Amino acid sequence: MSDAVDQIVGQWASERPDLVDDLWPVEMLGRIQRVALIITKEVKAFTAEHGLEMGEFDVLTTLRRCGAPYTMTAGALVKASFVTSGAITNRIDRMEAKGLVERVRDGADRRSVRIRLTEQGRQVIDVVMGEHLRNYARLAESLDRAEMDQVAAVLRKLLEAHGDTTLT
* CB 45, min distance to a copy of itself, A: 13
Per-residue binding string, DNA, 44-63, x by CB under 7 A, is ---------x-x--------
Within 10 angstroms of residue 149's Cβ, the number of other Cβ atoms is: 11
Dist CA 161 CA 168 (whole Å) = 17
* CB 106, min distance to DNA, A: 8
Rg, the chain, Cα only: 20
Residues 90-129 that bind DNA (CB under 7 A): 90-94, 103, 108-114
Per-residue binding string, a copy of itself, 23-62, x by CB under 8 A, is xxxxxxx-xxxxxxxxxxx---------------------
Burial (CB count <10 Å: 0-12, 13-18, 19+), residue 115 = buried
Interacting span for DNA (CB under 7 A) from 7-15, 28-36, 85-93, 132-140: 85-93
Among 45, 48, 127, 152, binds a copy of itself (CB under 8 A): 152
Q: How many residues form the binding site for a copy of itself (CB under 8 A)?
A: 69
Per-residue binding string, a copy of itself, 88-127, x by CB under 8 A, is --------------------------------------x-
What's the Cα-to-Cα distance from 63 to each of 11, 97, 139, rounded to whole Å? 45, 17, 25
Dist CA 168 CA 79 (whole Å) = 6
DSSP state of 20: G
Dist CA 71 CA 101 (whole Å) = 9
Quick one: 74 or 140, whose CB is closer to a copy of itself? 140
104 makes contact, choosing from DNA, a copy of itself, none, with CB < 5 to 8 Å by partner type, with none
First to last CA, the chain: 42
Dist CA 6 CA 33 (whole Å) = 14
Contact residues toward DNA (CB under 7 A) are 53, 55, 73-76, 78, 82-94, 103, 108-114
